[in-house]
Amino acid sequence: MDEKQGVIGAAGLVKEFGDVIAVDNISLSVGEGELFGLLGPNGSGKTTMIKLLTGQVRPTAGSAVVLGLDVTKDPVGVRKKVGIIPEQETPPSFLTATEYLDFVGEVRHITGVRKKADWWFDFLDFNDKRDVLCKDLSRGTRQKLMFTQAFIHEPALALIDEPLINFDPIMQRKVKDYLTEYVRRGNTIFISTHILEIAEEICSKFAILHKGKLLHTGTVAELKGRDQHLGEFFLSLVETGAHA
Amino acid sequence: MLKLFVNMMKEEWRVHSTMFGSLSFALFPVMIFGIAFMGSFLLPLFRTVVPPGYLSIIIHAIFLLLGIMVGGFGLLGMEVMNRRFGQASLLSYSARSLPISEQEIFCTFVVKDTVYYLVLWVVPFVAGFAIASPFISVPLSLSLLLFLTLTLSFLTGLALIFFLSTVYARSKRVFAALFVTLLTGWAALYLVAGINTVALFPPLQLFHAFSYDMLLAACAVVIIPSAIAVALFTSEYTDTTKRFKNAIVPLTKKLSFFPYPPLAAKDLIDLLRSGSFIGQTLFSFLIPLWLLWFLLSVLGRFIPPGDVLLLFAILTGVIASTMYTWLTMFDTFSSYTCLPVGVPALLESKICSFAVLQAIPAAFIVLVTIASGGVAYLVPAFVLCLSVSFYALAVTIWLTGLSPSVLVYDVKVLFLYLILVGIAVLALIALAFVNPYYATGSVLLFLPAWLLVKAGFTKWEIQDQPMF
Ligand SMILES: Nc1ncnc2c1ncn2[C@@H]1O[C@H](COP(=O)(O)OP(=O)(O)OP(=O)(O)O)[C@@H](O)[C@H]1O
Ligand SMILES: [Mg+2]
Tell me the per-residue pLDDT of A88-147, one tens digit each, with 9 for 90 and over: 767 887 889 999 999 999 999 999 999 999 999 999 999 999 998 887 788 889 899 999
Inter-chain CB proximity A90 and B340 less than 8 Å: no
Domain boundaries, chain A: 8-242
Query: How sure is the predictor about A48, in pLDDT bands with cuts at 50, 70 and 90?
Result: very high
Q: What values do phi and psi take at B309, rounded to 5?
A: -60, -45
DSSP-assigned states of every residue in B200-244: G-HHHHHHHS--HHHHHHHHHHHHHHHHHHHHH---STT-TT-B-
Q: How far apart are the C-alpha atoms of A89 and A171, rounded to whole Å?
A: 17
CA distance, residue B169 to nearest chain A CA (Å): 17
* Dihedral pair phi/psi, residue B435, rounded to 5°: -155, 120
Cβ neighbors of A236 (< 8 A, separation 6 or more) are none
Between strands A8-17 and A20-30, the pairing is antiparallel
Calculate ∠ Cα B419-B422-B424, nearest 5°: 110
A106, A141, A160: best to mutate for the B interface, most B CBs within 10 A:
A106
**Chain A residues touching residue B248 (CB < 8 angstroms):** 95, 99, 102-103, 106
A194 alpha carbon, closest ligand: 1
Dist CA B113 CA B230 (whole Å) = 14
pTM for the structure as a whole: 0.79
Judge whether A133 and B242 are in contact, CB under 8 Å.
yes
Whole-angstrom distance, CA of residue B359 vs CA of residue B89? 38
Is pLDDT of A195 > 80? Answer: yes
Neighbour tally for B23: CB within 10 Å: 9
Query: Is A80's Cβ below 8 Å from some Cβ in B?
Result: yes
pLDDT 10s digits, B80-111:
444 433 333 344 444 445 555 666 666 776 77
pLDDT in tens, B175-209: 889 888 988 888 888 777 777 777 788 888 888 88
Q: How many CB atoms lie within 10 A of CB B195?
A: 13
- Taking an 8 Å cut-off on Cβ atoms, the answer to whether B464 and A132 are in contact is no
Instruction: With H, G, I as helix, E, B as strand and everything else as coil, classify residue B2.
Output: helix
d(C-alpha B62, C-alpha B93), whole Å: 32
Q: Which ligand is nearest to the CA of A38?
A: 1
Class for domain A8-242, per CATH? alpha beta
Q: Residue A151: phi, psi to the nearest 5?
A: -110, -5
| pLDDT tens digits for range B238-283 | 444 567 888 899 999 999 999 999 999 999 998 888 767 777 787 7
Helices (H), B233-342: 248-254, 261-273, 276-280, 287-299, 305-321, 324-328
pLDDT value for B142: 82
In the beta sheet, which residues pair with residue A17? A20
Cα separation, B217 vs B206, whole angstroms: 9
